[in-house]
Chain A
Amino acid sequence: MYKATVIIKRRPSILDPQGKAVEKGAQLLGFNNVSGTRIGKYIEFFVNTDDENSATEEVKKYSEKLLANPIMEDFEYSLEKVS
């Protein structure tokens, strides 16, 4: 079995109002060196196979078809073998 982690980020060209609002809060708190705050998603799940290639395939398909919206988001993933 593999444990997968997927990180979903908005494309850099796409405005992230949430990140912008959070950064305003940061400035109010005095974090004056903080810039470029962007908010994404972190998703983890298990893939029930011992074959790394098919696990990779599954994670990619799941991410492309449902977890990320390819129009405005990119995703990164990593796989870790668990017993």
Chain B
Amino acid sequence: MKPKFGVVVFPGSNCDHDAYYATKKVLGYEAEFLWHKEPDLKGSDVIVLPGGFSYGDYLRSGAIARFSPVIEEVVNFANKGGIVIGICNGFQILLEAGLLPGAMRHNESLKFICKDSFLKVENKNTRFSSEITKDVIRVPVAHGEGNYFTDENTLKDLEANSQVVFRYTSPDGDTSLEHNINGSVNNIAGITNKQGNVLGMMPHPERCVDPVLRNDDGAGVFKSIVKSLVN
């Protein structure tokens, strides 16, 4: 079975081609673009909400994209257990759509951060991380609003259920506050929903899949997804 990744394209998406390239050209899976106006997932096994600036980030990041016709289908798909991964702007859309808890604030520094980040893989027992071999991976971030926030009770729930998959860290796995690049509560870089079929993460695994770029730490995320589908 060759799993099919459906990459949603919004006006303002700019990592849609990266996701397509990573999944289809590098990893050899099927991939197809899904135009946001068409409520049709075209038989995709996995939905990717890519990074970018959907609708110019007007009002709040992801606030308008969340009402796109395709999102209604994505929500139905996720509620039936379908695998959805939201990267960067895609994570923001998942929060606005209510598929994941919490909200994004501007980075604490108020600066747009564009650099490699180190992520501690906190939970390798998920459909998005089981094939990641390293304990700390290097994945680029590029965002202005990645400062994750949620209320204390939700945060406790997230931690208690091991829904925090990735945390900002030093290269050797130190997750103290000084390695928190954007101010997110508990250094959170990526979380899943309770059921474990929806992942949102601010860093961009699709940008580090091709070994030609001398970093393929992101490949494990996509390989994990595929492994969980095949099993």
Residues of A within 8 A of B (CB): 14-15, 17-18, 21, 66-67, 69, 71-72
Min distance, Cβ B92 to any Cβ of chain A, angstroms? 11
Min distance, Cβ A5 to any Cβ of chain B, angstroms? 16
- Name the B residues within 8 Å of A21 (CB-CB): 110
Q: Please measure, in the bound complex, the distance between the C-alpha atom of A69 and the C-alpha atom of B103, giving whole angstroms.
A: 8
Counting CB contacts under 8 A, is B68 at the interface? no
- Name the A residues within 8 Å of B183 (CB-CB): 15, 17
Q: Closest residue to B151 on the A side, CB-wise?
A: A71
Q: Most chain-A CB neighbours within 10 Å: which of B107, B109, B151?
A: B151
Counting CB contacts under 8 A, is B106 at the interface? yes
Q: Please measure, in the bound complex, the distance between the C-alpha atom of A18 and the C-alpha atom of B111, giving whole angstroms.
A: 10
Counting CB contacts under 8 A, is B96 at the interface? yes
Residues of B within 8 A of A (CB): 59-60, 63-64, 67, 96, 102-103, 105-110, 147, 149-151, 183
- Name the A residues within 8 Å of B147 (CB-CB): 17
- Name the B residues within 8 Å of A18 (CB-CB): 106, 110
Q: Please measure, in the bound complex, the distance between the C-alpha atom of A17 and the C-alpha atom of B144, giving whole angstroms.
A: 12
- Name the A residues within 8 Å of B59 (CB-CB): 66-67
- Name the B residues within 8 Å of A72 (CB-CB): 103, 105, 149
Interface contact B109-A17, CB-CB below 8 Å: yes
A–B complex contacts, Cβ < 8 Å, 5 sampled = A14-B149, A15-B105, A66-B67, A69-B63, A71-B151
Interface contact A71-B150, CB-CB below 8 Å: yes
- Name the B residues within 8 Å of A14 (CB-CB): 105, 149
- Name the B residues within 8 Å of A71 (CB-CB): 102-103, 149-151
Q: Please measure, in the bound complex, the distance between the C-alpha atom of A72 and the C-alpha atom of B103, giving whole angstroms.
A: 7
- Name the A residues within 8 Å of B108 (CB-CB): 15, 17
Interface contact A17-B106, CB-CB below 8 Å: yes
